[in-house]
Amino acid sequence: MVAELEADLQAERAKLRAITVERNRELHGKEDIAASLQRTQGVCSYVLSQTHLLRMSPQDMDLVKEQLRKYKQENYELESELRCKWRCSLATSGR
């Protein structure tokens, strides 16, 4: 009778281990799916935020390009001015 109870106990423990392993596998699967979904949502948000560029007319794109060119030119001029001031400060400080 004791041996029979021990055998039943071992069988129950084996079932519990199998159930625990399956539950952990499902839990990790759910976590992987949630992480994948979160990455997908991030990509979708980025793509949606950029779709306005696809709807721009050629004239609007030309305006954007012109503004970009203007800002690049201003940036170049400011960099040149700063370099000149830096060189002048080095010259006057005796370096």
pLDDT tens-digit series, residues 29-76: 888 888 887 888 887 777 777 776 667 788 888 888 899 899 999 988
Residues 6 and 51 in one domain: yes
Give residue 13's pLDDT.
94
Its domain, for residue 25, covers: 1-55
Give residue 94's pLDDT.
63
Residues 81 and 45 in one domain: no
Decide: pTM greater than 0.85. Answer: no
Instruction: Please list, in sequence order, all residues whose beta carbon lies within 8 angstroms of the beta carbon of residue 56, skipping any fewer than 6 positions away.
Output: 64
With tokens 């370096």, the residue in question is: 95
Residues 92 and 66 in one domain: yes
Angle made by CA atoms 92, 81, 83, in degrees to the nearest 5:
55
Q: How many domains does the chain have?
A: 2
Mean pLDDT on 81-89: 83
Give residue 18's pLDDT.
92
Residues 60 and 82 in one domain: yes
